Amino acid sequence: MANTIQSKKRARQNVKRYDINKARRSRIRTFLRRVEEAIASGDKEAATTALRLAQPELMRGVTKGVFHQNTASRKMSRLASRVKALG
């Protein structure tokens, strides 16, 4: 358990940050899941739209420190190639 005032504050901040990051990660995964579902249904137009909506969310996750830049780029690249292969 934290003993000093500084470490107690740090523990509070960590809990708060964890909740915020958890919500962000969940939101991004929802956007990615929508793209996956559109790809699975075979609807290229819906998949393209979902991908366009997911991209800024994923990149926002990078700027907020939830995901690493390369991870986000890899996910976007793989989804984009799968959407392109539809049709």
Print the SS3 string covering 13-54.
HHHHHHHHHHHHHHHHHHHHHHHHHHHHHCCHHHHHHHHHHH
Answer yes or no: is pLDDT of 87 > 80: no
pLDDT range class, residue 1, cuts 50, 70, 90? confident
Q: How many CB atoms lie within 10 A of CB 63?
A: 10
Q: Which domains does the chain have, with CATH numbers?
A: 7-85 (1.20.58.110)
| Of the candidates 36, 70, 69, 29, the residue with the CA atom closest to the CA atom of residue 50 | 36
In the structure encoding, which two tokens stand for residue 40, read together? 């699975």
| pTM confidence score | 0.88
Q: What is the residue type of 82?
A: R
Give 11-55 pLDDT, tens digit per residue: 999 999 999 999 999 999 999 999 999 999 999 999 999 999 999
Answer yes or no: is pLDDT of 2 > 90: no
